Amino acid sequence: MQISGRPITLLLVCLLGSATSSPVSICTPAQPPLSQISPPSPAPTVLPSLPSPSLGLVSASGASAGKGGCRLTVSPPTLVVRFGDPVTANCSGHGMDYSGVGWEVSPLMAEPGYTMDRFIVWTVDSMTEWNLTPMCYASVERGGQCHINVPLIVYKPPDNVSISLVNHTGAMLEHRLYTLQCSVKDVAPVENLTVTFYRGQTALGPPQSSSNRSKEPATEIFTLNFTPSREDDGAEFWCEAELDLGPEGPQHPPVVKSQHITATVYFGPQLGCPTKLQVREGERLSCEVRGNPRPLVTWVRDGQVVALPMSSSREHAGKYTVLAISHLERKNFTVEVEVLGGGGPANSCNGYFLLAVLIIQMINWL
């Protein structure tokens, strides 16, 4: 295979009874249907002298061209091939008078070829080029030429996808701005790439794409700004890269996921109970103070440090000051405790005893 810096016209000459070959591409006329086979010509066929396909062309793109009475069809209409895999395209003309069809593939250099049949096939055993532009053309007997450009997508899934925090390691602080970074290594074509950031199974915004239009493999970096909260402590963040290759691409688009990173979010002390706390007699007086790292908590009543009772009584009612200290900040909370009667274990036992006495008396009356 040889590559040049400018397009080179490729006339694929494939005569009946002769064959041409190339290490990169093979163009052969496909067998037409029986209804299209004509009796042998009594005289030898003479190949027409074709002008350059770049002159006097009626151009089109897509699956077929139909301007000026010229109809060409390429199957498949869009070529999507993984780098290193084989690819084949069939070009056919129908409903027109022409002297033959051929392929031009630039900037690929290969042996010229041409067929007077209605079909011609372009084949590559192993696609190892990123920037080829296939074009099928026909020479119309009434003069002129037409051609159809065939979209070619050569793709390569990324070697690796990774996620990290930009310029930061370790724990994050609540309510501060951070940047997540998703790095996609050696993927092509980048313009078909989309990246989505996730927190658990929830997408963090719409998929992102790149403005890079290079067809060759490249490494792309995508970023997402976010502000963590205490609810993000312990959450897993990751990203996913997908190649959207359209309807002619693989049934399941190539998807590569990054590793998961677990977030550690530091936040200051937070009171875990209402500031007006009700507890029944006999119950434990409990109120959690949350924080990461876990704060040092002290309960104060009437200027004295106290321990919370395991079994509440009326004398435990009143106002308490909760001192919570962490290396992030220091906070004071005021909790007003109300002790309700009749709910503790002792009162419950008394209630059961009175109920039993009442039942015995009713049985004696009957």
Residues 97-141: pLDDT tens digits?
677 888 888 876 554 455 667 788 999 999 999 999 898 888 877
Helix, strand, coil in percent for the chain, rounding step 5: 10, 45, 45
69 or 203: which leads in pLDDT: 203
What residues form DSSP beta bridges with 134? Answer: 105
**Is the pTM of the predicted complex or chain greater than 0.95?**
no
Residue intervals in the chain for CATH 2.60.40.10: 2-154, 160-263, 269-345
Joined tokens for residue 253: 């688009």
The CATH fold assigned to 160-263 is Immunoglobulin-like (2.60.40)
Q: What is the pLDDT of residues 4-49, one digit of tens each?
A: 343 333 332 232 233 333 334 445 444 443 333 233 333 333 333 3
Nearest in space to 29 (alpha carbons), one of 39, 18, 38, 40: 18
59-67 average pLDDT score = 46
Q: How far apart are CA 100 and CA 120, in angstroms?
A: 9
Terminal C-alpha separation, the chain: 112
Determine the topology of domain 2-154 in CATH.
Immunoglobulin-like (2.60.40)
Length of the chain: 366
Residue-by-residue DSSP string for 126-168: S---SS-EEEEEEEETTS-EEEEE--EEEEB--SEEEEEETT-
CATH of 269-345, one of 2.60.40.10, 3.40.50.720, 2.120.10.30, 2.30.29.30: 2.60.40.10
